[in-house]
């Protein structure tokens, strides 16, 4: 693509609506720029186009190993990466790997004001009050098996929480606290329509964990938890044998799957690795829902718990609530193929991936007979992603590679055969997850694969004893050329997993729709101060370059609520309300309203200022909070 054409595309892409109309008036459509660009030299890439979504953006980039996105152009994909114990989500553009945004989830974060206004502070407090979390598995909501752009769900492996991120605003809008478990590891929607969100309890604990059975690990338990995605209520749990690690859903509204690496129910490494086999649990969700409706549960900490252990009477019926499918050894990732036929569980301590035939689960007498294939892919297999062309990509932690293999060949080959492996590529180093574009949905696009490596060692300039991780971009769109490693991207601890969605799947808002906020919108001229017996309620607004009130006077000891609307209608003009010494940091995107409540317990003059560089007169955008002292200050003025 020549420089000139890139420039034209750039303009069309980034210009405001007005300019788009201008272009249209001239009879020039963005599509024309694209056509010109293709004719001018991107012809080779046309062949790859079919793998991409149709009807998308006019300036769709054609598929090729070219990952460069010129200045001003947009990426094709959003990649949502977990931030591990940074407690957040990172949003990258793919294929450029540019970091577009961070979404704070489980911890306070000052740039987005997360945990500083009343609503987000209460959300964090009501979900257990923890100050940090460990995000692993970002999962997008789906409708009909395809990403619908509504929500992203994310687990907290450290503390028992699942959060929901609203993808209209790229903002965490709900956090569920999950009783009867410590931490949630795997998480998945129940697909195709995300009617539930399901979380894996990994650490076994007594239920209830109130001091009983401390020394009796036989009585420690794990639970599988279902949450309603709309209300974020914990609906029910299933008690299981062993523990639960990773999770994925089938595609037809029936089974979900979780790996278990501790079928031994050990409490140390030796105990958890004693046996050659553990298992994958298949949860029959409609059957579990029937059990809940029929009252077949015990309630602990207000949650109905259905007994899904192997010997449970619910499992002796014709249709068991859970099926335990034996697989070798300490399995880790499990993911369902895009066509919904197989659930593939990586062996971790076995060099194999067990391919479970999902339909066969209902037909076989012995669950082990549902294993349709077991390719030997290499050492330390952890997670498997898909390209939608019948091929799978499994990370090999020990070998520091990604193995590409053929799913149907794995089903045809003998168990343990290496024949289904097509090729392997070195990555740097020790990948945890790999994730392919739209791999979790029914329509993977098959062009990009991310290897999320746990170590970077010598790949970057040294930064002291803590090294960044290394997220590597691999082009998988050309089966003849094979996998091509095209980019290293250092990242801060610690992306575990990602979900990659074509940009056509999302429709983020440019500015807030005031109807999406529960608080009243405070318009220009509507500033107001109400006082009532030690309570002061202040309503005001922010606009370049002032707040609606130039001075606010309160009494020492007053409980003060500041309720502020950013009345800007221009996109990208954020303001904030910062009050030094009161730990106030209220962020406000255009048309957003938030409030913060604090006690004015220090008398004095406090500048209330804007923390976002919003205009040339940003520094002048400030008012005064005057807190009148209870007792007159003593002593003469020193100056």
Q: Which partner in Ca ion, ligand CUA, ligand RUQ, none is near 151 (CB below 5 to 8 A by kind)? A: none
Category of 213 on φ-ψ map: left (φ > 0), alpha (ψ -120 to 50) or beta: left
DSSP run (H or E) holding 197 = strand 197-200
For ligand CUA, give the closer residue by CB, 452 or 610: 610
- Packing angle between helix 30-39 and helix 3-14, nearest 10 degrees? 160
One symbol per residue from 460 to 479: x for binding ligand CUA (CB under 6 A), - otherwise; what is it?
--------------------
| Interacting residues with ligand RUQ between 490 and 529 (CB under 6 A) | 496-497
| Interacting residues with Ca ion between 307 and 336 (CB under 5 A) | 330
In Å, how far from its chain's centre is CA 58?
A: 28
Stretch that binds Ca ion, among 20-28, 92-100, 241-249, 276-284 (CB under 5 A): 276-284
For ligand RUQ, give the closer residue by CB, 75 or 202: 202
DSSP run (H or E) holding 31 = helix 30-39
Q: How far is the CB of 553 from ligand CUA (least distance, A)?
A: 22
Q: How far is the CB of 101 from ligand CUA (least distance, A)?
A: 20
Residue 454 lies near ligand RUQ (rule: CB under 6 A):
no
For ligand RUQ, give the closer residue by CB, 90 or 383: 383
Nearest 5°: phi and psi at 444? Answer: -60, 145
Token duo for residue 456: 């970077």
Residue 229 lies near ligand RUQ (rule: CB under 6 A):
no
- Helices marked H in 498-577: none
Residue 433 lies near ligand RUQ (rule: CB under 6 A):
yes
Q: What residues contact residue 595 under an 8 Å CB cut-off, 6+ apart?
A: 117, 118, 119, 519, 561, 562, 563, 564, 586
* Distance between CA atoms of residues 74 and 487, nearest Å: 18
One symbol per residue from 599 to 628: x for binding ligand RUQ (CB under 6 A), - otherwise; what is it?
------------------------------
Query: Which residue number places its CB atom closest to ligand RUQ?
Result: 136
For ligand RUQ, give the closer residue by CB, 397 or 612: 397
Whether the Cβ atoms of residue 574 and residue 613 lie closer than 8 Å to each other: no
Q: Is 30 strand, coil or helix?
A: helix
The Cβ-side half-sphere exposure at 249, using a 13 Å CA radius, reads 29
For ligand RUQ, give the closer residue by CB, 92 or 397: 397
Q: Which partner in ligand RUQ, Ca ion, ligand CUA, none is near 133 (CB below 5 to 8 A by kind)? A: none
* Distance between CA atoms of residues 238 and 41, nearest Å: 57
Residue 61 lies near ligand RUQ (rule: CB under 6 A):
no
* Measured distance between the N- and C-terminal CA atoms of the chain, rounded to whole angstroms: 68
Q: Which partner in ligand CUA, Ca ion, ligand RUQ, none is near 575 (CB below 5 to 8 A by kind)? A: ligand CUA
Query: Which of 332, 502, 575, 595 lies at the binding interface for ligand CUA (CB under 6 A)?
Result: 575
Token duo for residue 490: 């250092």
| Interacting residues with ligand RUQ between 175 and 194 (CB under 6 A) | 185
Q: How far is the CB of 440 from ligand RUQ (least distance, A)?
A: 13
Token duo for residue 276: 């050659």
Q: Which of 119, 432, 39, 108 lies closest to 246, judged by CA?
A: 432
Give how many residues touch ligand RUQ by CB under 6 A: 12
b/e burial code for range 432-441 (CB count within 10 A of at least 16 → b): bbbbbbbbbb
For ligand RUQ, give the closer residue by CB, 273 or 527: 273
DSSP run (H or E) holding 290 = helix 285-293
Q: What residues contact residue 21 under an 8 Å CB cut-off, 6+ apart?
A: none
Q: How far is the CB of 291 from ligand RUQ (least distance, A)?
A: 28
Q: Which partner in Ca ion, ligand CUA, ligand RUQ, none is near 614 (CB below 5 to 8 A by kind)? A: ligand CUA
* Distance between CA atoms of residues 24 and 459, nearest Å: 47
Residue 247 lies near ligand RUQ (rule: CB under 6 A):
no
Q: Which partner in ligand RUQ, ligand CUA, Ca ion, none is near 332 (CB below 5 to 8 A by kind)? A: ligand RUQ
Whether the Cβ atoms of residue 575 and residue 612 lie closer than 8 Å to each other: yes
The Cβ-side half-sphere exposure at 411, using a 13 Å CA radius, reads 17
Residue 332 lies near ligand RUQ (rule: CB under 6 A):
yes
Stretch that binds Ca ion, among 24-32, 234-242, 254-262, 514-522 (CB under 5 A): 254-262
> In this structure, is the dihedral angle defined by the CA atoms of residues 206, 207, 212 and 216, taken in order, positive or negative?
negative
| Interacting residues with ligand CUA between 603 and 622 (CB under 6 A) | 610, 612-614, 618, 621
Query: Which of 76, 88, 148, 278 lies at the binding interface for Ca ion (CB under 5 A)?
Result: 278
Whether the Cβ atoms of residue 373 and residue 347 lie closer than 8 Å to each other: no
Give how many residues touch ligand CUA by CB under 6 A: 7
For Ca ion, give the closer residue by CB, 261 or 397: 261
Residues that bind Ca ion (CB under 5 A): 261, 278, 330
Residues that bind ligand CUA (CB under 6 A): 575, 610, 612-614, 618, 621
Residues that bind ligand RUQ (CB under 6 A): 136-137, 185, 246, 332-333, 382-383, 432-433, 496-497
């Amino acid at each position: 693509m020549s420089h000139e054409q890139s420039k034209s595309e750039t303009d069309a892409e980034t210009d405001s609506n007005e300019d788009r109309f201008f272009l249209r008036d001239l009879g020039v459509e963005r599509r024309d720029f694209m056509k010109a660009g293709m004719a001018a030299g991107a012809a080779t890439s046309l062949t790859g186009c079919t793998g991409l979504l149709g009807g998308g953006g006019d300036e769709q980039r054609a598929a090729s190993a070219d990952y460069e996105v010129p200045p001003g152009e947009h990426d094709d994909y959003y990649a949502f990466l977990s931030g591990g114990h940074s407690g957040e989500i990172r949003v990258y553009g793919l294929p450029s790997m540019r970091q577009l945004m961070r979404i704070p989830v489980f911890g306070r974060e000052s740039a987005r004001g997360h945990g500083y206004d009343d609503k987000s502070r209460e959300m964090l407090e009501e979900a257990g009050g923890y100050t940090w979390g460990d995000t692993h598995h970002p999962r997008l909501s789906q409708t009909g098996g395809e990403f619908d752009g509504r929500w992203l769900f994310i687990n907290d492996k450290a503390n028992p929480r699942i959060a929901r991120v609203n993808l209209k605003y790229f903002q965490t809008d709900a956090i569920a606290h999950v009783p009867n478990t410590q931490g949630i590891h795997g998480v998945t929607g129940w697909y195709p329509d995300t009617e539930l969100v399901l979380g894996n309890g990994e650490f076994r604990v007594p239920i209830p964990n109130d001091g009983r059975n401390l020394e009796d690990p036989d009585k420690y338990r794990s639970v599988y938890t279902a949450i309603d995605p709309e209300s974020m209520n914990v609906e029910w749990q299933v008690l299981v044998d062993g523990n639960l690690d990773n999770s994925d859903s089938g595609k037809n509204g029936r089974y979900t799957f979780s790996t278990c690496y501790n079928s031994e129910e050990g409490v140390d490494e030796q105990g958890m690795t004693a046996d050659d086999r553990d298992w994958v649990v298949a949860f029959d969700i409609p059957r579990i829902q029937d059990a809940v409706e029929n009252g077949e549960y015990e309630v602990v900490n207000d949650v109905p718990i259905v007994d899904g252990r192997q010997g449970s009477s619910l499992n002796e019926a014709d249709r068991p609530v859970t099926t335990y499918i034996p697989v070798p050894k300490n399995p880790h990732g499990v993911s369902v193929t895009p066509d919904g036929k197989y659930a593939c569980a990586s062996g971790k301590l076995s060099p194999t991936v067990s391919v479970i035939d999902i339909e066969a689960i209902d037909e076989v007498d012995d669950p082990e007979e549902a294993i349709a294939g077991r390719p030997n892919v290499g050492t330390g297999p952890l997670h498997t992603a898909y390209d939608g062309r019948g091929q799978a990509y499994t990370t090999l932690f020990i070998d520091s590679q990604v193995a590409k293999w053929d799913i149907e060949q794995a089903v045809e080959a003998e168990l343990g055969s290496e024949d289904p492996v097509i090729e392997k590529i070195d990555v740097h180093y020790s990948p945890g997850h790999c994730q392919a574009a739209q791999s979790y949905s029914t329509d993977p696009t098959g062009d990009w694969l991310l290897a999320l490596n746990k170590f970077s060692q010598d790949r970057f300039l040294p930064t002291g004893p803590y090294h960044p991780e290394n997220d590597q971009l691999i082009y998988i769109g050309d089966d003849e050329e094979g996998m091509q490693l095209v980019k290293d991207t250092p990242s801060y601890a610690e992306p575990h997993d990602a979900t990659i969605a074509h940009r056509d799947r999302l429709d983020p808002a440019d500015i807030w729709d005031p109807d999406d906020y529960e608080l009243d919108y405070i318009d220009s001229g509507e500033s107001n101060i109400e006082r009532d017996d030690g309570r002061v309620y202040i309503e005001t607004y922010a606009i370049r370059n002032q707040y609606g009130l130039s001075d606010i006077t309160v009494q020492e000891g007053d409980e003060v609520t500041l309720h502020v609307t950013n009345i800007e209608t221009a996109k990208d003009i954020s303001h904030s309300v910062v009050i030094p010494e009161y730990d106030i940091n209220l962020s406000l995107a255009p048309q957003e309203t938030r409030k913060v409540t604090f006690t004015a317990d220090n008398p004095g003059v406090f500048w209330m200022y804007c923390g976002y560089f919003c205009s040339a007169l940003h520094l002048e955008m400030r008012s005064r909070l005057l807190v009148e002292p209870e007792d007159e200050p003593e002593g003469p003025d020193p100056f």
